[in-house]
Every structure is written in structure tokens, then in C-alpha cells.
Amino acid sequence: MIKQYSRFVTFQFFLAIILTGPALALTDALPSWNEGTSKSAILGFVAKVTKEDSPDYVPPAERIAVFDNDGTLWAEQPMYFQAIFAFDRINDLAPQHPEWKTKEPFASILKGDVKSALAGGEKALVELVMATHAGMTAEEFNKTVKDWIGTAKHPQTKRLYTEMVYQPMLELLAYLRDNGFKTFIVSGGGIEFMRPWAESVYGIPPEQVVGSSGKLKFEVHDGKPVLLKLPEINFIDDKAGKPVGINQHIGRRPLMAFGNSDGDFQMLEWTTAGEGPRFGLLIHHTDKEREWAYDRDSHIGRLVRGLDEGPKRGWTIVSMKNDWKQVFPIDKP
Amino acid sequence: MIKQYSRFVTFQFFLAIILTGPALALTDALPSWNEGTSKSAILGFVAKVTKEDSPDYVPPAERIAVFDNDGTLWAEQPMYFQAIFAFDRINDLAPQHPEWKTKEPFASILKGDVKSALAGGEKALVELVMATHAGMTAEEFNKTVKDWIGTAKHPQTKRLYTEMVYQPMLELLAYLRDNGFKTFIVSGGGIEFMRPWAESVYGIPPEQVVGSSGKLKFEVHDGKPVLLKLPEINFIDDKAGKPVGINQHIGRRPLMAFGNSDGDFQMLEWTTAGEGPRFGLLIHHTDKEREWAYDRDSHIGRLVRGLDEGPKRGWTIVSMKNDWKQVFPIDKP
């Protein structure tokens, strides 16, 4: 029997080599990334923190990776998709607000004149957000977002917004999770705007989404407890707010941070100042054919300090044009 | 060879039955819980939401369980342990604050007269917390807590505070995690006071701790980014604040909620008002021999509404005296 058994084991072993050996060796976890310094930097970093005999080994519990959303996981042109959501809401809610016809910034939005609407600066934007993101329960808002994200189309590509996520970043998220990382979104966007779809689109559950938020109030209406969204800002998760949001929600310093604009600078600065191995990466939008090309002079996703200081700080700068084989799950024709 | 192989498989199968079959059948996941309605309620609920063919099946991603800390996971008498930490800090910091000798509430604390110190009510308490929990970086505070929790002893039991956690609740946390639940702390206590030890003591990582917090500010000192703790309250995670904290951090309604005082009422109310199966449990401190007995008239962990309304709402009320075989990992002699 011993002989038979050992023959069986050898056969199994042989089968294993045939079936999984070459597969493991040839599988590319990041097929939409071109070979080059950016891809090597990612693969090299993950290898060194996950190999148990590596001097840079980091236990799984501390493998935290944080990702900006707008411009890092999905597109942000011609304007933040959440702003388009707010404008669509203004149009939907207009019948209940006849006064908006003559009141700025609403009147301009209703005429389709976004530029004039936003001429009022931050005050106008806050007014638009408050009018569209408050005065309802958290569950009602969740449903509103789900309905919109399932049907609304991008003004230029005519695609669903969830089709305008970056294929290389979807692969990166999965690759990091396969290597024991917990992946978080840390975005200036609204926490309650991202949560309803982040799990199905990015594989990131609601409890791993950090973002800007309005204040909430717990009330009991006719015996039913509700969380009411108030027209007051609770927290702005942008720039110097990002490390604060990370500490508040995650409570440990990330190992890896991914962004694309100067709004992410402090998040990368905080992450890469930690002891031991750390990784910072900025996506540079350089591809006007497949996506958009913008940086220093852009009104959205402005990237100046990151380009000037990032390389000196050891951060990886990804050129979308050169480093990405594919941009969207389905690229523009 | 086929015959040999099948004999081998049968032997393996036989071994498996011998080794794991009876073990699985006889293992009690909650050995410190006496048999009774409380234990049955927990086991029955977990069985019905985890069995794939159950009409009440809940997918793992939605299995969120939230736990109050003081009085639910560890003791809270003769006063919140975090208050004792604050008083110890006042004594440690006194040499740098000669003015405290004559300034209340500090003067009373330095004389060991807690009662007079707290006569100033909430204002006095906030002053004490601000003086001991702010004016340093988040990392410095983390280290201070770690040093204290590793050495400070309870005034009555002379045990480490981390030895005053409840054995039945440690078993419950592990049991729920074994059944695919994510376990969170949702406490009125300080988020940064709990995080440094919650992972090693409860198996709950920092990103699953929700609590009260002070404001933080990101600054760069001599090129080094720091998070500075400001003497300003950011959020109070108690009573109606608990559902708000849950929504902010977790972003979905829990399936199970565990508490012990009226400060947990809204958390259980919010949890159990969700659709489908939900579970609420309150621990009633009834054991003056092994722990403490207190409820309606207690200045700490007051429990009135929970006792009056809990049973009607279908919540499980645990009697520490009757339901727990053991209270602490090492019970009082």
C-alpha cells in the first residue's frame, strides 16, 4: 500500500504542478498596467511587505491601503460626478420649489447654466449641496443615490458613471486585497454618496468608506427611529482633513496611499512619513485620447505640489497615457 | 490501485469522523454562559441568520454586531476606568502645573477627593478630560494610554483593568466572528482611549472602534507631519449619538446590538427597528458577589428605560448573576 500511496501522491503532486504551477507563474495580477517603473514599484512594494522572511514584513492587520475616489478610482471630468448628481436633483425637485426659478444659484442650474451657478463660489456650492443632500433620512438619501447611479449617464461618454471607473485601479484593489490588505476610500466626496455603490463597484464595504459628511440627527417619528440629514456640514475630508479622517475612521497610519490631486497631498505625506516601508502614488492625467489631460491649471483635480515634490519624496507618479494599457473597463472606441 | 485508493479514502474519512465529528458536536462555544433563555436566544439567532437555507439568512457582509464597552465588555465601577486614567494623568502632570494646587477641579483630584472634584458637574469633567487628553499628538496619547493600561491597577480588585473584562463577552465576540460577523465597539468612551488595547484584549481592530472624540488638527512640525489633539469636543458617542456614530463609521444598520445602560437604548432601538431579523441584548448588573449590583439608581450605567421597555421590545435581558457561570477571566476569589 505504501508504494501505491506514494505513487498517488506523486501523481497528485504532478497534477498540481501542471495545473497551478505555470498558472501562478504566468498570471499577471495587473494586466491593464504596462510593464514599467510604476507597475514594478507596486509589485515590488507588495512583495517586500508580504513575504514572511522579508525584513520589511508587515502583518496583515496593518496592511491598510487608502484611495482617493474622484480622479483616482473613477473620472472627475468635466466636473465631479457628485456635482452632476446635485444638479440633476435640483431639476427633479424644482416642481416643489417654485421659488428656485428666480433664486440663484438654483435659477442658473435650471437653465442649464452651470458656470453662472458656480460663479457664487463655495457659498453657492454649499447651498446646492444642502438643498439636495439634506432634509431627508439617511435611508431615503441612500435610495436616491442608488436610483441615480443606476440610470444617469455621463454628458460626454453617455455611459453610466459606474462604467467610468479605472480598470487598472479595479485590478489594483483586488490585487491588494488578495495580498491581505484592507482597502479604504478616503475622499473629499460625500461619504453617503459613495457608500450605496462602492461595495458592488469597488468591493469596498460601507465601513471602509471615509468621506465628507453632513450632520445627522437621531429622531423617533411615530415610534420609528430615523436618522435625519441636517443642512449642516459635519466634516470636510479633503487636504489636511484627510489625515484627520483617516485617524478618526481607521485609527492607524496606512501603509499605502493613492491619489491624483493636491487634495491628496497631506494624505500621502502622512502615510509616507510613517516608520518602516510606506508607499505613495499619484495618478497624473496625461491621456487626452482615452480620458482627459489636466494638471497644474485645472479647476478640478489640480496637481502642482504633487508633481513638484512627489518624486523627491519617493512617490510613484503614474502617467495614465504611458502606464495604463486600458483605462476604463470598456475603453472609448 | 482503485481499491487501494478507496480504502485510503475510507480510512481518512473514518479518521475525520473520529477526530472532528464528536468534537464539533460537543464543543460549547459559550462555556461561561449558563444554559437558559439568554444563551438560547443568542445561539438561536446566530443559527437562523447563518444557515444558508434559512428564510432569515443574512449574507456575511451584513453581519454587523455592535458592543458598548463600559459595563458591557469590561467593568465600570466604582467609576469609568477612563476617568481613573484622567485622574492618574492629573497627578502625573501636576509638577508641570503648579497652578492646579489651588484651581478646581484639579486641586480636589490632587487631594484624592474625587467627589468634590466632580461636584462641578459636566463642566468639571470636560476640564479634566481636556487637560489630560489634548495638547499632544495622537501618537503620544496612544503611547500614554498603552503605558497606563499595562500597569495601572483597579482600586478595589488590585487587578489590571484589562483583567476586568467579561469572560462570557470575550467568548461571545469570538463566537460571532467565527460565524462571519464583524464586531464593533460603539462606546461613549474615548475612541483614542480604547483603540490602543482593544485589538489585543477583544480582537477588535482600531478601525472597528467607534467612540467619543476630540478634534484633531494636521500640522507639519519641522518637516514632520503630526496630528495634534485639540481641547475641543468633536463628537459624543452616547445615547442618541450612538446611532449617528454607527451610521458615520459603519454605514449600515447592525444586526445585533449589546449594551447595559440607558446610554445604549437608542443603539438597540435603531438596531432592532431594522427590517428582517435583529437582536438586542442588555446586561443587567445583578451580581454583587462577583461584580457589582446596580441599575435604576446608579450614578454610572443607569438602567431604567431598558428594564421597563426592553422585554416588550423583544430584547434579551441578561442577569449577570444567573446567566454567567464566570464573570472575569479570573474571578474574584
By three-state DSSP, how is residue B310 classified?
coil
Q: Average model confidence (pLDDT) for chain A? A: 92
Query: Does A220 contact chain B (CB < 8 Å)?
Result: yes
What is the pTM assigned to this prediction?
0.91
Measured CA angle at A134 (ends A129, A260), to 5 deg: 40
Scan for cell 447595559, then name that residue.
B260
Helix (H) or strand (E) holding B167: helix B167-178
Res A9 pLDDT > 80 = no
A227 touches chain B (CB under 8 A): yes
Per-residue pLDDT reduced to its tens digit, B50-79:
999 999 999 999 999 999 999 999 999 999
Residue B112 contacts residue B159 (beta carbons within 8 Å):
no
d(CA A284, CA A145): 29
Chain B contact for A188, CB < 8 A? no
- Chain segment A224-255, per-residue pLDDT in tens: 999 999 999 999 999 999 999 999 999 999 99
**Chain-chain contact of A240 with B224 (C-beta, under 8 angstroms):** no
ipTM of the complex: 0.91
Question: What pLDDT score was predicted for residue B5?
Answer: 47
Tell me what the mean pLDDT of segment B200-220 comes to.
98
Task: Supply the angle between the helices B37-50 and B167-178 in degrees, to the nearest 10.
Answer: 20
Q: Mean pLDDT of all residues in chain B?
A: 92
Give yes or no for B23 touching A (CB within 8 A). Answer: no
In angstroms, the separation between the Cα of residue B149 and the nearest Cα of chain A is 18
Segment A252-301, tens digit of pLDDT? 999 999 999 999 999 999 999 999 999 999 999 999 999 999 999 999 99
Q: Name the pairing type of β-strands A279-286 and A293-294.
A: antiparallel
A4 band by pLDDT with thresholds 50, 70 and 90: very low
Confidence class for position A120, pLDDT limits 50, 70, 90: confident
| HEC profile of A92-148 | HHHHHCHHHHHCCCHHHHHCCCHHHHHHHHHHHHHHHHHHHHCCCEHHHHHHHHHHH
Q: For chain A, which domains are there? A: 23-78+158-323 (3.40.50.1000)
Distance CA B68, CA B246 (A): 12
Q: Which residues of B223-259 are buried (b: 16+ CB within 10 A; e: fewer)?
A: eebbbbbeeeebbebbbbbbbbbbbbbbbbbbbbbbb
Most B CBs within 10 A among A143, A183, A207, hence the mutation to make, goes to A207
Quick one: closest CA in B to A207, which residue?
Answer: B250
Q: Which residues in chain A have their CB less than 8 angstroms from residue B270's CB? A: 218, 225, 227
**Which string of b and e fits B82-100 if b means at least 16 CB within 10 Å?**
bbbbbbebbeeeeeeeeeb
User: Is the pLDDT at A7 greater than 50, yes or no?
Assistant: no
d(CA B135, CA B138): 9
Q: What is the pLDDT of residue B118?
A: 87
Q: Which residues of A touch B220 (CB under 8 A)?
A: 269
CB contact under 8 A, A251 and B207: yes
What average pLDDT score do residues B18-29 get?
60
Interface with chain B: mutation pick from A184, A212, A235, A248, highest number of B CBs within 10 Å: A248
**Predicted local confidence at residue A25, as pLDDT:** 46
C-alpha distance from B167 to closest chain A C-alpha (Å):
24
Residues of B within 8 A of A224 (CB-CB) are 273
Which residues in chain B touch residue A142, judged by CB atoms under 8 angstroms apart?
none
Q: Does residue A228 sit at the B interface (CB-CB below 8 Å)?
A: no
pLDDT for B4: 47
